[in-house]
Structures are given as C-alpha cells and as structure tokens.
Structure 1
Amino acid sequence: MGQQSAHHSSKMQQQEWTLPLWQYRKEKHEWSERQYDTGTPRNIWNQFRVVTYNIWFSEQYQPMRFQSLCDILHRSDAQIIGLQEMTPNILKHLVAQPFIQEKYCISDPDGRTFYGWYGVVLLIDVRLHISRLDLFNFPHSVMGRRMVLAEIKLDENETLRIGTVHLESLNNKPQRLAQLNLCQKVFNRAPSTCILMGDFNFHAEGQENVEQFSALPEWTDVWVNVMGPNNPGYTFDTHVNSMTKKSNGGSDRSRYDRIILRSQTVVPTQIQILGNKPVGQQQNLDVFPSDHFGLTAIFERKQ
C-alpha cells in the first residue's frame, strides 16, 4: 500500500541509473563498493529462494516489528530479498545486522536511491555472480516510485534478471499499468529469466488484475501457479492482522503482493506467506511484523 508524501514531486527527470553494488568489509567495518562480477560464474545455481516484503514505513511498534522482520529474513536464508517502504532509519538498523553484513550485497546502504523518505531495496547473496544493478524511475509517479533491477548469472548460459517494485498506491490504475509496461520494456531488453516482485497495489481478484496481466503476456503469477486459483493468498488482511485493521480504518482482504515470472528454463516449486502470525502485544493489540504479509518462493532450473 503506502501513501503520498508531501515531499514527492512528479518532476523526476532522470529515467535510469546504473547503481554501485555495496558489500560489507569486515576489516574496515563499513559498506564499500564492490566490483561487478565478470567472466564465468564460480558457482552454478540450480535452485534459489527469493523473498518480497512491504515492511511498512510506520514507526508504530517499530522496535518489536523490526526485530521480528530480521528474524524472518534470517530464517528464510533467501538468495535475493526485495523490500518495499524502506526508510533511511530502518535501513540504518538493517545494514547493522551481522547476518546481513555476512550474507548479502545491497543496492543501497543509506537511502541515497530513495525519492522522498522511503524506497525499495534489493539484498543479494554475496556468492551470486552479480553483473549489473540498475534503478529505473517511474516518470509520472507522484509517490516517488521506482524499480531496482539486478542481473545475475546462474551459470555461464543462464541469466536471471530480478527486480523489486512498489507500484503506485490508491486509485491510480493508469499509473500502475504504465509502471508495469515500463518494467516489461526494461525486461525485454535482453533474453533472460525474469522475476518481478513487490507490492503491486491492486487486488488479485477483479477487473484490474485481468487487465494488468493481459498487458503482461507470458508472465506467470507464481502464487496461482503453485497454489491454484482457489487459494486467496491474502497478503493484506484486516481479518487476521488487527494491527492492520486499526491503521487501515476499515476492512480489506487483498493479495496486493506478488512474485511473477517469465522464463523458459526456470519454474517455481514452492511459495508461502511470511509474517502472518503476531509477534507480541502492545496495549492489548496483537503486533505483526508489518501491515502486509511477505512472500517467499523457491525456483528451480528445468532438468
């Protein structure tokens, strides 16, 4: 979900940037730029796990929520993590976590890629062969929305291009359609396995979902592919998450968060919801890691 900030302007002129890749250097106790990988990958990846999570930028119950988020990310042991609604303050605490420093490279160590006061971040396993990282601006967004996209070689012949997004919120269907069209144009630049994950901000049931996926030929909604069409898979659920009900001010059960795939060589084998159990109580209210639930999926190379 997410809402408009007064600091945001629709006049974001530059459309795309190549980003530096950041890795923690233990001997220096700091995040430093890492060179992109070239040549032949050292490791072959026939299976990998991804996570997407809108972590909720709100400061409500944040210490408890942040710790539970870290526990979820640590236990997931995912190779690639996409986070939405990341703020500089939350990011500061995230990059100080030992497991993050040891396991991941990051697209942004301090919020410099955010437009306004929150944005999206990719975390990528340091063992992966990371050949490129780019930031794409959604030019007509009034909420500062962008996509971060990584190019990863799973072996010398298989390239994975994976991005995370937070599409326009609220009653902005034309913006979301334009943003997904831009994502598709970017993915179409080179042949590869493509994964897009994040908060898509439209219901998985209804006319907009039909229209959006009609504009995305050959893409697979991983939840439906693995779980079938009759499992609702709500990632925003005020019936379960009383914290969300309080902040939302009304009832809403939706599958806003997605992982979608376009590939001839990679298939999804598992997907599940994360963070759908309370992690504690404050003022007689069940506290959850976020107002959204996260998703994790496993992908395998076809044999």
Structure 2
Amino acid sequence: MSDSEDDSNLPPQQECLERCKQFAELTGTDRALAMFYLQDREWDLQRSVNDYFESMGKACGSDDDVQVISPPETTAVNDTEPHRLRLLSWNIDGLDKLNQESRTKAVYEKIKAENPHVVFLQEVIPPIEVMIRGYCSDYKFLSGYVHGSFQYYSAILLKKDFLTKFDSADIIQFPGSVMGRNLLIAKATIKGINFSFMTAHLESCKEHSKERVEQLKSAFKKMKEFEKDRTVIFGGDLNLRDKEVAKLPENIYDLWEVTGKRPEAKFTWDMNRNDNKEFGGDFKPKLRFDRLYIKHSIPPTVKPVYFELVGIERLKTCQRFASDHWGLLTHYDKV
C-alpha cells in the first residue's frame, strides 16, 4: 500500500462497498482487509482476490475452485551457530496508517537481518498480517486474532526449518479486558529444547492498571503450569509501569535484568528519542512498556546471554522509525 493514493480510478461509493463485500465473501475475510487489497489494486476485484490467495500460499483454479498449496513446513539449513537461539519481540504499531508499507518492510528487513528463531509481534492488523506472511514465508505464522474482537492482535512466528518442530498453539482470553486482549501460546521444540512461548499486548493506559496487573498475574500463573522440562518465555508490549511489577514470582526472571541491566537497552517507549507519535509539552515520557520473562526448565537448558533494542534507525524512505516502540532482541546459549 503506497503512502499516497490516486483516486482517479475510484468507482462510485456504492460500487466500492459492493466489491468489498464480494471480496470478503470470496476470501472468508472482512471488509477492512478487502479495502486494503482493492484500494491498492485500482478496485480490480479479480486481481485483488487472486493476489490475496497467492499471498496466503494459495492459487485460484481455472474452475473458480481454490486449491491450497502448502509451502514446505521445514527447510534444510546449515546451522552455523548450533549453541545459539534468538527471539525478537516488537510492537509494530499497526494502528499507525502513515507509511505503513515501508515501516512493515523495515520490520521484515530486521527479522531477515537478525534471523531469530522466534518472533513475537503485537499490534498486528489484517493488512499487515498479509504483508508479514508474504515477506516472512520461511516462518510459521500463528495469529492471536479472535473473530469479533478488536482489529489488532498479537502473533508468534516460528522459523520453518528442520531444527524447529511446532507442537501446538492456544489462545487464552483475559476475561476482564475491555480491549479484547488475550494470551497467545505456542509450544515448540527448537534444537532439541522444549519451549513454551507466550506473548500478549496487555491492557493499555494508566487508568487500566488494575486490569493490566491481573492479566500479568494470569500470565505468570500460566508460565508456572507448564511441564518442568519446558523453558517458558513470555513477553510483549505489557504496558507495565515499574510499580506494577515490583516483585516477580519465584523462578521467573526479567531478561533485561539477568543480561546485565544495560541502561541503553532499558526504555522501549521513549518519546525523547522516538518522534513517531506527537507528544505535546516539554515533558517527554520514557517507559519500559515492552518486557520479556523466562522460567527455566529443570534442569536448565538455555542461558540468556544478550539483550538489545532494535528498530532504532530512522528509515530513509520516510524519515520515521519502523514503530513508536523499540523491539527487543534476545540471545540464548544452550547449556
């Protein structure tokens, strides 16, 4: 989707609505995604539908049937770092429509450059999901979208190679959420190590602190329920203030803290450094909204060794950042 739009080929409003409806019916999606595809393809319905199925790993047959073409679940790779695993977590600010395509491409380029085995994403929306699926075809995409809920959600990406075996996925709704928030869980084995991965976008805003803390307690409780032979990593845009998590449960550790508490890697939402969002007045807040936690297996199977912020480079295409949040990149060594 380009950052500027040409309305010269725009059909009448009623026709636009009808084509959105037809697209949604043909693809089993919704009108928000239909609008994205049709606007970007001069309102050509057939081309939009074909491009959608192609991007989802499908092709339209000549008899109008849809034939599913599944990409290989595993790819042979030469593991040049047999001792190392990497996980990236990032709120990619899908609600910001400005420069959306170039910013999403920057997220993909960072994923490609860092080559993480696991990616947590927050604030995904359907058009961005389509782009990420297309860019990151070598990852299995697990969506936290629940039909009828808010149009932004979390996702987990797992590398598709012979070193990774996907086991199962689950979504647990936070019952007290007024923002449709949930906990997305994936169980997988990577390099012979059993993992449970959990990501969430906890309740936003200062006034929802009580609900946010309840959601955090629920996530910590779930971490403790997994089998003892599993390493559990949980995190995402947790919207936390330090006072809301003054003391961690036993055997759960903050990955920023255990990797050295580097001050330059502390604040993930920093209005002093990141100007994607306008914030009036002289005071510019900086907070550690995005966090990652680990519960080790018994005996421990990995050691956290590195923690850094990503996405701190201003994009040449638009002179903005990929997101208003910095991403978190963590490294682990097998033990």
Q: After TM superposition, is the score higher than 0.5?
A: yes
- Give CA-to-partner distance per residue, 1:134-161, whole Å, 9 cap, x none: 11111110111111111112466x4211
Counterparts of 1:279 and 1:27, CA distance in 2 = 34
Greater relative contact order structure (CA < 8 Å, 6+ sep): 1
Equivalent-residue separation in structure 2 for 1:31 and 1:123 (angstroms): 20
Asked if structure 2 preserves the Cα contact closer than 8 Å seen for 1:113 and 1:119, the reply is: no
Q: Is the 8 A contact 1:149 1:164 kept in 2?
A: yes
Residue identity in the other structure for 1:106: F
Distance 2:71 2:214 in 1: 33
1:37-48 pair list within 5 angstroms: 46-48=83-85
Is 2:183 the partner of 1:183? Answer: no
- In the alignment, which of 98, 116, 119 is matched to residue 78 of structure 1? 116
Identity among equivalent positions (%) equals 23
- Contact 2:275/2:324 (<8 A) preserved: no
Structure 2 residue runs without a partner (length 5+): 1-55, 61-66, 74-78
Which residue in the other structure is 2:47 paired with?
A: none
The answer as to whether partners of 1:45 and 1:154 remain within 8 angstroms in 2 is no
For residue 181 of structure 1, give the secondary structure of its aligned residue in structure 2: helix
Q: Does 2:133 align with 1:95? A: yes
Structure with higher strand content: 1
**1:25 Cα offset (Å):** 5.5
Larger radius of gyration: 2
The 1:45/1:25 distance shift into structure 2, 3 A limit, reads farther
After superposition, residues 196-235 of structure 1 pair within 5 angstroms as 196-203=234-241, 206-210=242-246, 214-228=247-261, 230-231=263-264, 233-235=266-268
Residues in 2 aligned to 1:140 and 1:112: alpha-carbon distance in whole angstroms? 16
Q: Which amino acid aligns with 1:84?
A: Q
Contact 2:84 2:334 in 1 (8 A): yes
The question of 1:68 aligning with 2:106 is answered: yes
1:120 CA drift (Å): 0.3
Matched, 1:160 2:195: yes
Measure the CA separation in 2 of the matches of 1:113 and 1:33: 25
Query: Cα deviations across residues 157-187 of structure 1 (Å, max 9, x unaligned)?
Result: x421111111111122221221122112222
Give the one of 177, 184, 209 matched to 1:173.
209
| Alignment RMSD | 3.0
Asked if residue 273 in structure 1 is aligned to residue 309 in structure 2, the reply is: yes
> What's the offset of the Cα at 1:202?
1.4
Distance 1:119 1:249 in 2: 28
Unaligned 5+ runs, structure 1: 1-23, 36-42
What is the identity, as a one-letter code, of the residue corresponding to 2:199?
T
Residue by residue over 1:183-221, the C-alpha shift from the partner in whole angstroms, topping out at 9 and shown as x without a partner, is: 122222222211002011013xx42231xxx25222111
The corresponding residue for 2:328 is 295
Residue 48 of structure 1 and its aligned partner are, at CA, apart by 1.0
Whole-Å separation in 1 of the counterparts to 2:209 and 2:185: 23
CA deviation vs aligned residue, 1:245-277 (integer Å, no higher than 9, x gap): x1x445111111111111133210111100012
Q: Partners of 2:172 and 2:320 in 1: how far apart?
A: 34
Task: Give the TM-score normalised by the residue count of structure 1.
Answer: 0.76
Secondary structure of 1:56's counterpart equals coil
Shift in alpha-carbon separation, 1:173–1:217, aligned structure 2, 3 A: farther
Asked if the contact 2:58–2:70 (Cα under 8 Å) also holds between the matched residues in 1, the reply is no
Equivalent position of 2:53 in the other structure: none
Q: Which has the higher helix share?
A: 2
SS at match of 1:260: strand
Contact 1:232 1:255 (C-alpha < 8 Å) held by counterparts: no
Aligned residue for 2:134, secondary structure, equals coil
Alignment check: 8 A CA contact 2:57 2:71 kept = no
TM-score by length of 2: 0.69
1:237 and 1:114 map into 2 onto residues whose CA distance is 32
Question: Which whole-Å CA distance do the structure 1 matches of 2:154 and 2:147 have between them?
Answer: 8
